[in-house]
Amino acid sequence: MIGSAMIEVLQGYALKENIHLQEAMAAHTTFRVGGPAECFIEIEDAQQLQKIQKYLYQVEYPFVVVGNGSNLLVSDSGYQGIVLQIGKKMSKIDVAGNVITAQSGASMAQVAAAAWQNGLTGLEFASGIPGTVGGGVVMNAGAYGGELSQVVTEVQVLDKNSEFLTLDNDTMEFGYRRSTIRRKPFIVTEVVFELSPGNPADIRAKMDELAVKRREKQPLEFPSAGSTFKRPEGYYAGELIMNAGLRGFQVGGARVSDKHCGFVINAGYASAADIMDVIWEVQRRVKERFGVELEPEVVFLGEF
């Protein structure tokens, strides 16, 4: 359990108003579920993050870094450790020519909007992805034929020794919903995008077209973490789930979306346990029916 001495040290690194004890994680995930984090700290800049990370490694206290929680399911019992949030307080975006440099807490939508406003094409696909650029590069987020690997040239990270490193596109080892960061204790602090000149009207039109597709095909009216499962090779997760007879399958307040079976949604009163039970049952039934292992895209935090 976190003690008063540790709180005092952390207050030396972060403003008191940015440190929250027993913070409900339901307020910080797009599923809108999750118990309390023992301590929740809003990070303001990379240097502050560096100092806090170094201290937590020295005292060997558990911590996790999150963005806006768009790909996260936190257990009902919460998280016994410290949550470091890289979000709005660390979301500066700079544009120079064809290059956009964004702090990792900037949202994908904000960066896509900055690209459009500056007549830069290549990020239209990202305009509706509900995550930060930091989380996006970790999982090589993508949609409608686009992926961050196509436009990211550099990623600045903090390593386990609290040193800043710059990784180029090749070093990131991007793949389908993965990067080298998923396998290493790196924290993303800044992302550099290289885009191409385009017509702002055409860029806006493409963003609007994709927004219409999302509204038509995705259950955006319900809390969720987006696509719950990765696309298995040779299949579509949503189609497998539908063909397994699981459209609308529900446990408590969690349900397989009727609009898109690849989404597990919070119908308004779900617990994290309800969502987890739906995920497990979907995996079991699809494996039993089709012999396909569905791998979650969602990251799980806490004990389930």
Active site residues: 177, 227, 297
CB half-sphere exposure, 185, CA atoms < 13 A: 11
Answer for the pair 224, 265: CB distance below 8 angstroms, yes or no: yes
> What is the distance between the alpha carbons of residues 160 and 157, in angstroms, rounded to a whole number?
10
> What is the distance between the alpha carbons of residues 106 and 242, in angstroms, rounded to a whole number?
35
Exposure class string for 146-168: b at 16+ Cβ within 10 A, else e: bbbbbbbebbbbbeeebeeeebe
Q: Distance between alpha carbon 294 and the CA centroid of its chain, in Å?
A: 19
Q: Which residue in the block uniquely carries the two structure tokens 């990131």?
A: 172
